[in-house]
Amino acid sequence: MKILVTGGAGFIGSAVVRLAIARGHQVVNLDALTYAACLDNVASVADSPSYAFEHADIRDASALGAIFDRHQPDAVMHLAAESHVDRSIDGPGAFIDTNVTGTYTLLEATRSFWEAQGKPAQFRFHHISTDEVYGTLKDEGQFTEDTPYAPNSPYAASKASSDHLVRAWGETYQLPFVITNCSNNYGPFHFPEKLIPVVILNALAGKDIPVYGKGLNVRDWLYVEDHADALLTVLEQSENGRTYNIGGENEARNIDLVESICAILDRLRPSDRPYSSLISYVQDRPGHDYRYAIDPTRLREELGWRPSVTLQQGLEKTVQWYLANPDWWQALQARDGVGTRLGTSKGT
Ligand SMILES: NC(=O)c1ccc[n+]([C@@H]2O[C@H](COP(=O)([O-])OP(=O)(O)OC[C@H]3O[C@@H](n4cnc5c(N)ncnc54)[C@H](O)[C@@H]3O)[C@@H](O)[C@H]2O)c1
């Protein structure tokens, strides 16, 4: 299959690009190369005859039209987005522009191409979204595909909006689509402003490890390479119009997650005192959702997909990867906003 992947120079998109090529697909990676992108993430496949890169913005309709004409994809996997909740609190406009207007522009370019091709039924627009569209849970229960949307952050609201656009394009124009909503990802090539890399890199630098609030928020962690595998499974097998929740079945409180990472580092890179002594509780994020948990039953029963690693195994692989790849993360730490506390201002 020839797949147009948007956001393929980002964290999850690059895992999708690498795995899709390993599975024998052809990939066109379309990315605007924002602050969150890194082409080194796809260096291992950049010379493959199955790989092409297009430097373009999903809000640029004419660039999109030319890319569709040039590459004639069989499917779109749409991952390009502004993705950091804290940045969405400080500057929501960019999230509306890219995640809502950008998705609309991409949908229209896709529809135009698909209609010109004679509306092939096997075509897919695969929209990659988040469990944050469902809002927050208390101590019990899990999100299913039927949970009503109740997004709480500007990021989550922009992703919810984009999910609705994709569904509407499917209903109104019959554009074949599938939507997946997944839990928090972690793993190699995770941009150094997100929680798990921050913990690893601050610990290695001997800096305070910031934990929001009391560290009691719960997330359901998914190893990024498992997510990429789930996404390709859905793309290859799903019926038109289906939605799937993707989760790692790995719930953890933030403080327990941070303690686990510190314990792995104590073993792999011993210091003169336990890394957990660096933990520092900081002001909570405004509107911080308490708990996310995914019920992945539909994906398991319909497509037979399960995560391959536990959280402990995935964290071990992740810490080893960061220890082995300082050149990758040191270059990104110099980028705008990385290493500073973001997302404390309410809507400024
Ligand atoms: N990271 C997670 O835990 C998580 C969980 C669930 C869903 N998601 C979703 O998965 C997708 C990928 O997330 P990620 O963590 O890899 O994000 P990321 O921030 O690491 O990567 C986003 C990529 O999109 C590109 N991009 C941004 N704006 C663009 C534009 N206007 N045109 C073209 N390219 C643009 C960036 O350059 C970057 O390469 C997002 O849609 C996100 O909402 C992420």
Is 141 exposed, middle or buried, given 0-12, 13-18 or 19+ CB atoms closer than 10 A? exposed
Angle, helices 11-22/224-237, rounded to nearest 10 degrees: 60
Enzyme catalytic residues: 131-132, 155
Compute, in angstroms, the gap from residue 119 CA to the centroid of ligand 1: 28
> Residue 341: its pLDDT value, please?
74
Q: Which of 117-121, 129-133, 286-290 has the lowest mean pLDDT?
A: 286-290
Task: Pick from 79, 155, 246 the residue to mutate for probing ligand 1's pocket: most ligand atoms within 8 Å of its CB.
Answer: 79
> Residue 340: its pLDDT value, please?
83
Cβ neighbours of residue 245 under 8 Å, at least 6 residues apart? 131, 143, 144, 145, 180, 181, 182, 294, 295, 296, 298, 299
Compute, in angstroms, the gap from residue 152 CA to the centroid of ligand 1: 19
pTM of the model: 0.97
Cβ neighbours of residue 293 under 8 Å, at least 6 residues apart? 137, 141, 142, 143, 183, 218, 220, 247, 251
Q: What CA–CA distance (Å, rounded) separates 192 from 255? A: 19
What CA–CA distances, in Å, run from 12 to 19, 145, 175, 190, 251?
Answer: 11, 21, 24, 8, 20
Collapse the DSSP code of 243 into the 3-class scheme (helix H, G, I; strand E, B; otherwise coil) and give the result. strand
Cβ neighbours of residue 83 under 8 Å, at least 6 residues apart? 10, 11, 36, 155
Is 273 exposed, middle or buried, given 0-12, 13-18 or 19+ CB atoms closer than 10 A? exposed
Are 305 and 237 in contact, with CB atoms under 8 Å apart? no
The CA radius of gyration of the chain, in Å to the nearest whole number, is 19
> Residue 339: its pLDDT value, please?
81
Q: What CA–CA distance (Å, rounded) separates 204 from 200? A: 6
What atom in ligand 1 is closest to the CA of residue 31? 34
Are 20 and 14 in contact, with CB atoms under 8 Å apart? no
Average pLDDT (112-125) is 98
Report the chain's terminal Cα–Cα distance, integer Å: 44
pLDDT band at 336 (very low <50, low <70, confident <90, very high): confident
Are 227 and 189 in contact, with CB atoms under 8 Å apart? no
Predicted confidence (pLDDT) per residue in 207-218, tens digit: 999 999 999 999
Average pLDDT (323-342) is 90
Are 160 and 208 in contact, with CB atoms under 8 Å apart? no
Q: What mean pLDDT, rounded, does the chain reach?
A: 96
What atom in ligand 1 is closest to the CA of residue 159? 43
| pLDDT-above-90 percentage for the chain | 95
Is the pLDDT reported for residue 346 higher than 80? no
Predicted confidence (pLDDT) per residue in 60-80, tens digit: 999 999 999 999 999 999 999
pLDDT band at 248 (very low <50, low <70, confident <90, very high): very high
Compute, in angstroms, the gap from residue 91 CA to the centroid of ligand 1: 16
Is the pLDDT reported for residue 295 higher than 60? yes
CA dihedral 305, 310, 316, 319 (to 10 degrees): 60
Cβ neighbours of residue 146 under 8 Å, at least 6 residues apart? none
Residues with CB under 6 A from ligand 1: 6-7, 9-13, 31-34, 36-37, 57-59, 79-81, 83, 98, 102, 128-130, 159, 182, 184-185, 191
Q: Which two tokens stand for residue 6?
A: 């948007």
Is the pLDDT reported for residue 166 higher than 60? yes
DSSP state of 285: P
Q: Which two tokens stand for residue 85?
A: 């909740």
Residue predicted with more confidence, 211 or 284: 211
Q: Which two tokens stand for residue 239?
A: 């019926």
Is the pLDDT reported for residue 184 higher than 80? yes
> Residue 96: its pLDDT value, please?
98
Could you tell me how far CA 126 lies from the centroid of its own chain?
14
Compute, in angstroms, the gap from residue 42 CA to the centroid of ligand 1: 15
> Residue 348: its pLDDT value, please?
34
> Residue 345: its pLDDT value, please?
62
Nearest residue (CA) to ligand 1, atom 10: 79
> Residue 347: its pLDDT value, please?
40
Average pLDDT (308-318) is 98
Q: What CA–CA distance (Å, rounded) separates 31 from 51? A: 13
